[in-house]
């Protein structure tokens, strides 16, 4: 996704300002949505496991609602020709944000267990 965004910036379909804002919005959404799954340590299996809790379900519902209306929301703020490109930048930010959020949660658990 990030490659697509960079290509669209390079061929001047997507202004750099819109790409940056899209990625920042996506990062925020991604870090929040990474909380959908509660991560914990399974003593018997000796590994990190995930499960959906009530907060995760609420975040999942809001995330799905955002995904459904994303193009309409973006269309409010940018012109029609760049809606798709801004959507890609937000998606790239969400993907990066979810990785960062999940990584931070895993690192925290491993530090608590003094594994790292």
- The pLDDT score that the predictor gives to residue 48 is 92
Task: Give 36's DSSP letter.
Answer: G
Quote the percentage of the chain above a pLDDT of 70.
100
- The pLDDT score that the predictor gives to residue 50 is 92
Residue 31 CA to residue 35 CA, distance in Å, equals 7
- The pLDDT score that the predictor gives to residue 7 is 93
- The pLDDT score that the predictor gives to residue 93 is 96
Delimit the domains of the chain by residue range: 2-112
Q: Are 30 and 93 in contact (CB under 8 A)?
A: yes
Its pTM stands at: 0.85
Query: Alpha carbon of 66 to those of 40, 77, 98, 115: distances in Å?
Result: 27, 15, 15, 37
Q: Calculate mean pLDDT across residues 97-112.
A: 94
- The pLDDT score that the predictor gives to residue 5 is 92
């Amino acid at each position: 996704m990030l490659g697509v965004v960079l290509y669209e910036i390079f061929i001047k379909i997507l202004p750099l300002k819109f790409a940056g804002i899209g990625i920042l919005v996506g990062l925020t959404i991604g870090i929040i949505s990474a909380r959908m799954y509660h991560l914990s340590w399974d003593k018997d299996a000796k590994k990190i496991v995930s499960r959906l809790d009530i907060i995760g379900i609420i975040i999942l519902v809001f995330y799905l609602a955002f995904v459904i209306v994303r193009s309409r929301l973006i269309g409010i703020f940018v012109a029609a020709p760049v809606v798709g490109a801004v959507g890609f930048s937000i998606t790239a930010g969400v993907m990066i944000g979810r990785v960062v959020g999940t990584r931070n949660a895993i690192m925290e658990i491993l530090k608590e267990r003094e594994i790292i």
